[in-house]
Structure 1
Amino acid sequence: MATPPAFEALKPDVLIKEETLPGYRAERYYPVTFGQVLNDRYEVVAKLGYGTASTVWLCRDLFSPQDTPAFRALKVYVNSMKVHREVPIYSHLNNLSSEHPGPENVRKLHGVFEMEGPHGWHACLVHEACGFDLDELKGFSPDGMYPADMLRHTMREVLNGLQFLHREANVIHTDLRPDNILTRVRHPVIFNRFETNENAAPVPRKILEDRTIYPSCRVPFTIAEYVISDLSEARLVDGSVNNDLIMPPVWRAPEVILCMPWSCPVDVWAFGLMVWYLFQGSRLFRFSEDGLEFSEEYHLAQMVAVLGPPPLDFLERSEHSWKYWNRDGTWRGDVPIPTDLSLESAEKRLKGEDKRLFLAWMRKMFQWKPEDRADCQDMLFDDWLCADLLQSGEMERDGHE
């Protein structure tokens, strides 16, 4: 019998992957190993990712037919996680009866279970195994920017899923960004490559006394449907007032920065920033002078340059506003308002009518007042977003597909 190829053992004193995260504590993470069978059903094939709250693993579903194996992505939460928003949100979605096509653009959850680790219990979510995220796909373009028609196709699918979440499910995602939009894998057989590669050339790993730390593997390139993923910070619109701090700083809507109540329009703001980032190749708003430490004052000054001064009645919704504005609505921050920044000057790719329509679409999303932002329906059937469909005759200007 041939001896299996050896893997490279990484130095135990060099921190890698989740060990490099701020506040990392090994005992919070379940010590998953390749080949391990979780919940008597899911055989671990590869590591897909990690974060402060979980690790994610590609697993073969042993209950699926051997000739057509199914693969799942298992999110294994840390044992210190006290609030699990994702499970009740998915339970709510799965119990909905709707004819909206949007569920096809929301990542599926196939199950939930708990397992006991050496230092406590861990919640495990069994997700649909998916491919690249939008940020990774952006890297395949020679100039690091999405072509216009590819962007249009992609964003229509994202809006389809987001409209379902908002209109049918009353769910606010709160963390909409490129790495939370994934490509669906039409032919799961491509995941067999992970097993083949691991047998032929095992990935390096760091073996410790109580666990093994693996690198994350890159999913094979696929282009199919796009799905909204990661509902771990989602909220239900249930009549309660939301005013807690949400969204990663660079994607944060102005009402969140200013400690105002927020709802579905925060997703519209984030969607606009995501479109800009994918199509222009850079973020619309800088968040600090050095690009390192987040400054909400610097961020707000950038917003004023692009959007103009906020309406006084918007500022009056929060006492936090007066930290940066006078009571008459004039800027009082130490950071000056940029004079060389505008939506028109920041847009570098388009010209003429095409540019006018694109910026008009952007302005539907970039509004100080949440209630002034467009909803998904208006964004979905915008003239710029649907320009390819209108040109091909697949859509009439006053009609729908």
Structure 2
Amino acid sequence: MADSSKPVLNSACPTVSADEKPPTYTPQQLYDKPRRVNAEDLELYTRGGYAPIDLGLTFEARGHKYTVLHKLGYGPSATVWLVRRSNGPSGACSFHALKVLRADLSTPERNLEFKTMQRLEQVGWNCRAHPNLVQIQEVINMMTPNGLHRCYLEPLLGPSLFHPSIAEPTRRQRHFSRQLVYAVNYLHAFEVCHSNLSPEHVLVKFPQPYSGSEENALLDCLGPVVSEEIVSRGIMPAAHHPRAVVEPASFSGFDYSSVTDVALVGFGNAFAAIFPPPVLRCPIRIFPVEVLFGHEPSPKSDIWELACLLMMLHTEPDHHLHQGCYVRLVYDWVTYLGPMPSHWRGRYRWDRYNTLTPPGQMQHQDLLGWFDVDGASRPLGRVIAASASHLTPIEREALAALLREMFAWEPEKRPTSGMVLSRLLQLKW
């Protein structure tokens, strides 16, 4: 009898050993690119890659029956699905998010999220103890033709706090700011760095959980399913990919006016402060600049990323940084903050953080502006004053002063998360 903790989608699928190599990326294109759907990279539907999941899929694990109802999101390492869980003989239902890792990232050796959670548990950390951190309710394994996938069952959360329907700055942003700082401060109290405080990892909570009898209302809230049939080029057998690729839920029926709480998710790159990773993996627009110049990722890197989140929360999108390369990002920050420390000259880690500029075309003199500008052309104070109309003049001035400290070039000069929290509490946020 099959292990109930390992749901099988296809009983004839091959077993993938723990030491199997990562997905095989061939120069041949396995699938046609979707034309109408915003979705994950289909080329990762291969041995060792994504789990081939279709809507309506049912499986059993640990005495519960799961049914896949909608897609919630995706990333380079996993897809996330809305599932209905039927709880044993009683038949009572509940709704959850199921994060399904790629098979090659599900082994103990390569599953960074699992290793981080193990370290956290060893020091007494418990995500269930904080209301603004996502909870991992259960860990199950799923066997598919592409391998064995580790899956995290989590509470069902809503869209990103930065969804266009809610991202416009309002007085509520003060409350959300405090919750985010509380969450990061809790992590730092256990010497844990999140390391990817991107907008996509700040999700709003449903005001009330949906009961098992409210499935239709929940699906209406998530919006209609948008999907497109996958067109295979015949290289990969059909069992290795879903029949259709599904766009993440739009949350078109979500009541944004009722949002009061947020949760921090996305711990795939989190690390213990005493074990910094050799390379930091987070979106360029929130990247801590000191890491580009040889500093190790640290809790103070989280402070930079947290400052980016606070700035995005309280300013209009025109003032957000969305550049596609590190060099352009540095130029933009220099215009906000002024020249970088002169002793950073020549320390840029070209070997780890390359740019979109072809090798050999970036001349040394092109970088002098990083260190020699006379002053910032768009100081933070003016940006906050111009776009944070939801704050009082005193709050705008205090926020600008706090952000200037959090954006200090030298990480050791930045405040701790506890100091940031204290400043917000002084403002009665």
Match of 2:249 in 1: 217
Indicate if the aligned counterparts of 2:339 and 2:370 stay in contact, CA closer than 8 A: no
The structure-2 alpha-carbon separation of the partners of 1:112 and 1:243, relative to structure 1 and needing over 3 Å to count, comes to: same
Indicate if the aligned counterparts of 1:325 and 1:331 stay in contact, CA closer than 8 A: yes
Give the whole-Å Cα distance in 1 for the aligned partners of 2:273 and 2:87. Answer: 37
Is 1:311 aligned with 2:332?
Answer: no
Q: Name the aligned partner's letter for residue 399 of structure 2.
A: F
Q: Encode CA deviations 1:154-197: one digit per residue, 9 max, x unaligned.
A: 111111111111112x1110110222112233532267655467
Indicate if the aligned counterparts of 2:192 and 2:272 stay in contact, CA closer than 8 A: yes
**1:1-400 → structure 2 map (5 Å cutoff):** 14-15=34-35, 17=37, 21=41, 24-26=44-46, 28-40=49-61, 41=64, 42-63=66-87, 69-81=93-105, 83-94=110-121, 96-97=123-124, 103-136=130-163, 139-141=164-166, 144-147=167-170, 149-168=171-190, 170-189=191-210, 193-195=214-216, 203-208=225-230, 209-210=238-239, 211-212=242-243, 213-219=245-251, 220-221=254-255, 223-238=259-274, 240-282=275-317, 284=319, 286=321, 288=323, 294-313=324-343, 315=344, 318=347, 320=349, 331=368, 340-347=377-384, 348=386, 349=388, 352-382=393-423, 386-388=426-428
State the 1:96 CA deviation. Answer: 4.9
**What TM-score does the superposition give when structure 2 sets the normalisation length?**
0.72
State the 1:134 CA deviation. Answer: 0.8
The structure-2 alpha-carbon separation of the partners of 1:259 and 1:24, relative to structure 1 and needing over 3 Å to count, comes to: farther
State the 1:130 CA deviation. Answer: 1.1
Q: Name the aligned partner's letter for residue 85 of structure 2.
A: D
Give the whole-Å Cα distance in 2 for the aligned partners of 1:262 and 1:104. Answer: 26
The structure-2 alpha-carbon separation of the partners of 1:195 and 1:34, relative to structure 1 and needing over 3 Å to count, comes to: farther
State the 1:20 CA deviation. Answer: 5.9
State the 1:340 CA deviation. Answer: 3.0
Q: Name the aligned partner's letter for residue 145 of structure 1.
A: E
State the 1:338 CA deviation. Answer: 8.2
Q: Name the aligned partner's letter for residue 246 of structure 2.
A: Y
State the 1:242 CA deviation. Answer: 3.8
Indicate if the aligned counterparts of 2:312 and 2:320 stay in contact, CA closer than 8 A: no
Match of 1:394 in 2: none
State the 1:51 CA deviation. Answer: 2.2
The structure-2 alpha-carbon separation of the partners of 1:127 and 1:198, relative to structure 1 and needing over 3 Å to count, comes to: closer
Give the whole-Å Cα distance in 1 for the aligned partners of 2:172 and 2:89. Answer: 35
The structure-2 alpha-carbon separation of the partners of 1:176 and 1:333, relative to structure 1 and needing over 3 Å to count, comes to: closer
Q: Name the aligned partner's letter for residue 375 of structure 1.
A: T
Give the whole-Å Cα distance in 2 for the aligned partners of 1:91 and 1:29. Answer: 24
Q: Percent of aligned positions with the same letter in both sequences? A: 19
State the 1:33 CA deviation. Answer: 2.5
Q: Name the aligned partner's letter for residue 427 of structure 2.
A: A
Give the whole-Å Cα distance in 2 for the aligned partners of 1:262 and 1:336. Answer: 27
SS at match of 2:139: strand
Give the whole-Å Cα distance in 1 for the aligned partners of 2:162 and 2:44. Answer: 25
Give the whole-Å Cα distance in 2 for the aligned partners of 1:374 and 1:317. Answer: 27
Q: Which stretches in structure 2 are left out of the alignment for 5+ residues? A: 1-31, 231-237, 351-361
The structure-2 alpha-carbon separation of the partners of 1:359 and 1:303, relative to structure 1 and needing over 3 Å to count, comes to: same
**Bigger mean CA offset, 90-99 vs 210-219:** 90-99
State the 1:59 CA deviation. Answer: 1.1
The structure-2 alpha-carbon separation of the partners of 1:187 and 1:69, relative to structure 1 and needing over 3 Å to count, comes to: farther
The structure-2 alpha-carbon separation of the partners of 1:341 and 1:192, relative to structure 1 and needing over 3 Å to count, comes to: farther
SS at match of 2:305: helix
SS at match of 2:130: helix
SS at match of 1:130: coil
Indicate if the aligned counterparts of 1:59 and 1:72 stay in contact, CA closer than 8 A: yes
Give the whole-Å Cα distance in 2 for the aligned partners of 1:334 and 1:43. Answer: 56
Give the whole-Å Cα distance in 1 for the aligned partners of 2:397 and 2:379. Answer: 14
SS at match of 1:358: helix
Indicate if the aligned counterparts of 1:276 and 1:282 stay in contact, CA closer than 8 A: no
Indicate if the aligned counterparts of 2:93 and 2:212 stay in contact, CA closer than 8 A: no
SS at match of 2:196: coil
Give the whole-Å Cα distance in 2 for the aligned partners of 1:308 and 1:334. Answer: 8
State the 1:269 CA deviation. Answer: 0.6
State the 1:16 CA deviation. Answer: 5.2
Indicate if the aligned counterparts of 1:45 and 1:194 stay in contact, CA closer than 8 A: no
Give the whole-Å Cα distance in 2 for the aligned partners of 1:379 and 1:297. Answer: 28
Structural RMSD (CA): 3.6
SS at match of 2:281: coil
Q: Encode CA deviations 1:227-250: one digit per residue, 9 max, x unaligned.
A: 110100111122x45441322111
Q: Name the aligned partner's letter for residue 57 of structure 2.
A: Q
SS at match of 1:341: coil
Give the whole-Å Cα distance in 2 for the aligned partners of 1:158 and 1:34. Answer: 33
SS at match of 1:368: coil
